[in-house]
Amino acid sequence: MFDAMIDPTATPAERTEAMPLAARPRSLAGRTVGLLANTKTNAEAMLDAVGSLLSERHGAAAFVRRKKLSITDPVPADLLTELTEQCDVVVVGVGDCGSCSASAIADGLAVENAGIPAVVICTEAFVASADAMADLQGSPGYRYVRIPHPLALLDEAGVAERAEQVLDEIVDVLTADTATVAA
């Protein structure tokens, strides 16, 4: 049934340094933003709210919306390829349980490893799972955006409020100063 069992709390035997992150653009103006949702309730609504705000306030020009059909499996290769070929940055979410938080972090790091800046949104209740996956993937201290738990129970106005609360941090994670700027 399972090809492998992963213990997100295990520590790799050999780790020399954290995986380098993709170079960040100075701003999101004119950029194409990928929105990678999972099947958790309100994940797509949250990413849509974030996308609207990125367009209105930061000039994001286009969006590539994709949904992975498993909250626990890694992002499928075809979706990863689409996102990395079509997008300048990617927003991943939402980690709103233990396994989907770990999976979201793994997805964000897969996007980063492919050379595209990513930010992951997880609820605060599952920080331990998210951090453990970042460590397991060789990126201790990986920065992601934390929102209050739960997201799934919120109505449309509540989801919009959460997106508003973390917008600046999302932009901060996706963009950088001139030291790490992408062309």
pLDDT of residue 167: 98
Q: Whats the size of the chain, residue-wise? A: 183
- What radius of gyration, in Å, describes the C-alpha atoms of the chain? 15
Q: What is the pTM of this model?
A: 0.89
What the block records as the tokens of 64 is: 């590539």
Q: Which residue has the higher pLDDT, 37 or 5?
A: 37
Could you please state the CATH topology (level 3) that the domain comprising 32-174 is classified under: Rossmann fold (3.40.50)
Is the predicted pLDDT of residue 8 greater than 70, yes or no? Answer: no
pLDDT of residue 179: 42
- Tens digit of pLDDT for each residue in 40-58? 999 999 999 999 999 999 9
Extents of the domains making up the chain: 32-174
What the block records as the tokens of 75 is: 């992002």
